[in-house]
Amino acid sequence: MSKVVTIRIITALMLVSLTLVGSDCEDFINQINQEPCTGGDITGTWTYIYNSGTTLDICPGEVVSFPNNSGGTATLTCPNQSAINRNYTVSGQTLTYTDTSIEYQVCFDGSGNLVLRGINTDRVLYYSSSISETTNSQSGSNGKNVSNNNSSEIKK
């Protein structure tokens, strides 16, 4: 087989693979931007389940407590770490951690999970109010490197 034929075959395979990769990216972007966003009350204690955004830097098992739906001081706790307090405000469907200027669109999915869609960060965070304390303490270690970042911080 000549070099020209080999180059043409490789080029054709690359073009075909681009269409497959492109459709995966589009599906991913559609998941992140799915509308409509159903609002609700964030008051209570929420446990981080997973992140579907592109910035995957939140500690597994983070627990966030919001004392009320309009603002105040949230308590964020990563497993085996000291809790931190962050002032926050909620205006419409926008949650802002005032100390760090991180903003999220507040939504709820069909299962009642709190979904925080990053406005100025590439995070889409899912929280549940029904995970037990046992589950929290077991999340994420298993000998893997896990993040110590919480959702009120920008990735460093």
Query: Do 127 and 63 share a structural domain?
Result: yes
Q: Which residues of 76-115 are buried (b: 16+ CB within 10 A; e: fewer)?
A: bbbbeeeeeebebebeeeebbbeebebbbbbbbeeeebbb
pLDDT range class, residue 147, cuts 50, 70, 90 = low
| 141, pLDDT greater than 50 | no
The number of folded domains in the chain is: 2
Q: Mean pLDDT, to the nearest integer, of 120-141?
A: 66
Question: Which residue range forms the structural domain that includes residue 14?
Answer: 1-33
Query: Do 124 and 66 share a structural domain?
Result: yes
> Exposed, middle or buried by CB within 10 Å (0-12, 13-18, 19+), for 67?
middle
Query: Do 121 and 81 share a structural domain?
Result: yes
Query: Do 94 and 56 share a structural domain?
Result: yes
Query: Do 23 and 50 share a structural domain?
Result: no
CB 53 within 8 A of CB 124: yes
Say which CATH number the domain at 107 has: 2.40.128
> What is the percent of the chain with per-residue pLDDT over 70, rounded to a whole number?
70
Residue 28 inside a domain? The answer is: yes
| 137, pLDDT greater than 60 | no
Query: Do 58 and 17 share a structural domain?
Result: no
CB 102 within 8 A of CB 154: yes
Residue 144 inside a domain? The answer is: no
Please choose, from the candidates 148, 151, 154, the residue with its C-alpha nearest in 3D space to the C-alpha of residue 65: 151
Residues 113 and 72: their CA atoms lie apart, in Å, by 21
Q: Is 113 or 17 the better-scoring residue by pLDDT?
A: 113
Query: Do 65 and 11 share a structural domain?
Result: no
